[in-house]
Structure 1
């Protein structure tokens, strides 16, 4: 991911997304490795029975 970030111009939306992910990489990795990855439910579906959204890094 770091190598790909170097190819993206600073100040662009994708650069900001990469920076956000890279700053939080240790925290994201911790949740994936400890087996207690939290389920993040999307409220967008309301009560229409749409599938839940899972946090994937």
Structure 2
């Protein structure tokens, strides 16, 4: 499900768009290939989203 902000996708949606697993999306975030946005507090309590801009950049190579 996409947030109201059309520039952010959930990690699950980002994985679907990229054709990879959710685990891979988190690995890409760790490697600095995708830009995360955390909403709702701390790392454990919040939810992570990914910018569509960083997804498009990764897809372009």
Q: What range describes the TM-score normalised by the shorter chain of this pair? A: under 0.3
Relative to the length of structure 1, the TM-score reads 0.28
Q: Name the larger-Rg structure.
A: 1
Relative to the length of structure 2, the TM-score reads 0.26
Q: Which has the higher contact order (CA 8 A, sep 6+)?
A: 2
Higher fraction of strand: 2
